[in-house]
Amino acid sequence: MAYRTPRTLVISEEDRSWRLAALVICCCLSWVGVGASLAVLSRYATESEVTGQNSKKSELPLIVVFSNEGAPDATVPTNNGLAWLMNSMLKGRLVRTVPEQGSRFVPGVPPPGPFIPGEAADSWLPPTTTNKDKAHPDKKTGPNNLRVLVRGQVATILRQQYGFKPPQVRDMDQLWQSVPEADAFLQIRNHLKDVSGPGRPSPNTPTAQKLILVSHPHRLPYLVLLARAAGFVVAVLDPVLYSVVPWSTFGCGPLGYASAADPHSAVHREDNRFRVYVDQLRSSDPDQLKVLEPLLRAANATLRFYKCTTHNQDVSPTTASRQCMEPEHR
């Protein structure tokens, strides 16, 4: 068999030009694809920030406010005080430190043992307006960028008396037609479009969004339980800040209640709500209840402290706090 010399592949100048052009086109298409992907991711990040999902980017949590509930003559004064507190916070005017003796809502400084705030839920201080914030009003960590969901009468007061409107302050009752408190946090999850997998949300599948709860301090143990059961990471407004509210200006006593309201009955009402919800979890989801045990201990200790302080209204805040922290009251 005759041996044949292998053919040498010869690329003409025309072929070289065509291949070079094809390579340039492929490179351009690749860069376009990468750019499109980055654009989609960028848009997702922006939308997440708007809805509150990307808390690391915005560096601010979502504030959720619950009004005091009951007869108008007993709740309007308290809700006016809460609205004043929110107005001061949103305008960066809230004083972040107050004298220790000025607070009836702090179970010891620091609180010895589990309390709310404490081991189960952190306390949170809002940002204040600085000269730098005034020079850069679009700064993402300033008070102007706080976003708030409000349930109840405080929403109306903030809108009518202080001029707050969406998107900064949204009325939960308008969004969801006065859903029960136990369902409000599930509605908030849907509102934030935070997908945490199928099934009922639980502390084992937390959301990406941190909530700061604001209400009358006596309501916070129950509200923290509802939020944690819905899978949220939760903190509460530092309780010392409630002492800067001019309660007497709104017709309230030192515990933040109107003269027509009985503080002791109010704490017992919150305690009963708390225990009813715990009983429901005990029968419907004992595994979840076990996860929440540290929170339950802190909430019970806090409610006992508040029951004690309502019996010691006539003594100074410092004396009441000290007496209510003694072992027989804990």
pLDDT digits (tens, 9 = 90+) for 143-188: 778 899 999 999 999 999 999 999 999 999 999 887 888 889 989 9
Residue 51's φ and ψ, nearest 5 degrees, are -85, -5
Average pLDDT over residues 125-136: 61
Asked whether 270 and 219 are in contact (CB, 8 A), the reply is yes
Token duo for residue 315: 């003594």
Domain boundaries, the chain: 56-329
Would you tell me the crossing angle of helices 220-229 and 263-284 to the nearest 10 degrees? Answer: 20
Alpha carbon 20 to its chain's center = 57
- Summarised one tens digit per residue, pLDDT across range 302-324 is 999 999 989 877 777 777 777 78
| Per-residue confidence band for 58, with pLDDT thresholds at 50, 70 and 90 | very low
Average pLDDT over residues 265-270: 95
